[in-house]
C-alpha cells in the first residue's frame, strides 16, 4: 500500500532483515544482507506490509559461506545475495502495487 511500512524477513528461523517504506505507487525498494551465520540450504524471503498485513515472498537457496584464501576485507558473496534480495523486493513491490490496483 502507498507509504506503508514493509518488513523484510528470512525464514526458516525468523530473521528480520530490514524495514522499508513503500512509495506513493506502493513500490518497495531496498537492499538486505543475509547474515553470515545463516544455515546453508532452502529458506523463504518474505516482504510483509505492516498495516495491510499483505505479504509476498520467494523461495531462495543460501549457499555455504566460504572464506577467501586471504582475507582482503572484501566479500562479494553477501553483496550478490543482497542484490538478489533487492531485486526480489523490487519485484514484490511491483506485484503488490499491481494486486492493489486490481482490487480497486
pLDDT, one tens digit per residue, over 40-61 is: 999 999 999 999 999 889 999 9
Percentage, residues of the chain above pLDDT 90: 18
Structural domains of the chain, count = 1
Instruction: Let me know if residue 34 belongs to a domain.
Output: yes
pTM of the model: 0.59
Percentage, residues of the chain above pLDDT 70: 63
Instruction: Let me know if residue 94 belongs to a domain.
Output: no
Average pLDDT over residues 57-78: 70
Confidence of residue 99 (pLDDT cuts 50, 70, 90): low
**What is the DSSP-derived secondary structure letter of residue 31?**
-
Which residues lie closer than 8 Å to 51 by C-beta, 6 or more apart? 1, 4, 5
Instruction: Let me know if residue 39 belongs to a domain.
Output: yes
Domain residue limits at 10 = 1-64
- Tell me which residue of 8, 56, 69, 17 sits closest to 38, measured CA to CA: 17
**Residue 4 grid cell:** 506503508
Amino acid at each position: 500500500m502507498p507509504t506503508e511500512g514493509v518488513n523484510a524477513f528470512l525464514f526458516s528461523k525468523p530473521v528480520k532483515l530490514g524495514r522499508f517504506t513503500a512509495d506513493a505507487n506502493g513500490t518497495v525498494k531496498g537492499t538486505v544482507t543475509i547474515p553470515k551465520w545463516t544455515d546453508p540450504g532452502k529458506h523463504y524471503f518474505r516482504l510483509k506490509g505492516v498495516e495491510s498485513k499483505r505479504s509476498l515472498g520467494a523461495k531462495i537457496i543460501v549457499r555455504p559461506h566460504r572464506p577467501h584464501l586471504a582475507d582482503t576485507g572484501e566479500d562479494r558473496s553477501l553483496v550478490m545475495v543482497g542484490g538478489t534480495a533487492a531485486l526480489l523486493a523490487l519485484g514484490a513491490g511491483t506485484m503488490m502495487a499491481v494486486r492493489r490496483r486490481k482490487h480497486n
